[in-house]
Amino acid sequence: MSNLDDVWSRCSPEELSEFAGRWEDMVTSTQPEELDWLYIAKLPVAALWSKEDAEEYWKEQSLEAAENGMPGMWDALLDEPVFEPIVVGFYGRHENGHDSFSIWDGSHRSAAYAITDRPNISAVIGITKKLDLDELPGLIRPVVAARREELNNCALPTTCR
């Protein structure tokens, strides 16, 4: 675990919620206090993007940046590591069986990881309160379970479990 991971891992759920609150979820109108917050050092990028979807998003965003006089605005992300975790809300599953989540902050960073085949990214994740592990995407289920187990074995308040 890197020093930054160690710092983020020590944040309380309230601190993580406050951090996430800088970007309320505009898509679902979810507020940070509606979710339980965890820091995950290695969130599987494939839980968020397929490589093809990430490439399409990247093309659209790059074109828009170029049209606004900022060509190559995101290109450094393709070569550099991410130091600030992305923020993602996980809400369970839609009736159609698809996972319901929203990237609150870090779409470009996580897309860059998907495009360059980097498998994991650090993330502050919010999970709908009382959501059962079975309702989480399969790729993140073991990561969240391991993190919850780790938290159950430490002195953090029960609100983070």
Partners of residue 123 on adjacent β-strands: 40, 86
| 62/35 Cα distance (integer angstroms) | 32
Residue 110 confidence (pLDDT): 97
Contact between residue 35 and residue 126 where contact means Cβ atoms under 8 Å apart: yes
pTM: 0.83
> What's residue 94's pLDDT?
61
Per-residue pLDDT of the chain (161 residues; tens, 9 = 90+): 567 788 898 888 899 999 998 887 666 778 888 888 989 999 999 989 999 999 999 999 999 999 999 999 999 999 988 889 999 988 876 666 556 788 999 999 999 999 999 999 999 999 888 777 777 777 777 788 777 777 666 544 444 43
Handedness of CA 130, 94, 9, 142 (dihedral sign): positive
What pLDDT score was predicted for residue 73? 92
Q: Is 155 exposed, middle or buried (0-12, 13-18, 19+ CB in 10 A)?
A: exposed
Q: In what order do the strands lie in the sheet with 120-128?
A: 35-44, 120-128, 86-93, 99-105
Question: Could you please report the per-residue DSSP string of 67-132?
Answer: HTT-TTTTGGGGTS---SPEEEEEEEE-TTS-EEEEEEE-HHHHHHHHHTT--EEEEEEEEETT--
pLDDT value of position 133: 75
- At 98 the pLDDT is 56
